Amino acid sequence: MPMRSPTFKPRFEAPAKSNDLVRGTARERGYDGSWRRVRLAKLQSNPICEIQSESCTVSASLVDHRIPLTAGGDRLGWDNLRSACCNCHALVTQNFKETGTYELLTDVAVGAETEI
Looking at the Cβ atoms of 20 and 90, the one nearer to Zn ion is: 90
Binding residue for Zn ion (CB under 5 A) from 43, 63, 81, 85? 85
Looking at the Cβ atoms of 23 and 48, the one nearer to Zn ion is: 48
Q: Is the dihedral of CA 72, 74, 75, 80 positive or negative?
A: negative
In angstroms, the CA 72 to CA 106 distance is: 25
Q: Which of 38, 42, 35 is nearest to 60 (CA)?
A: 42
Q: Is residue 43 at the binding interface for Zn ion, with CB under 5 A as the rule?
A: no
Q: Is residue 56 at the binding interface for Zn ion, with CB under 5 A as the rule?
A: yes
Query: Which residues in this chain contact Zn ion in the complex, by CB under 5 A?
Result: 49, 51, 56, 85, 88
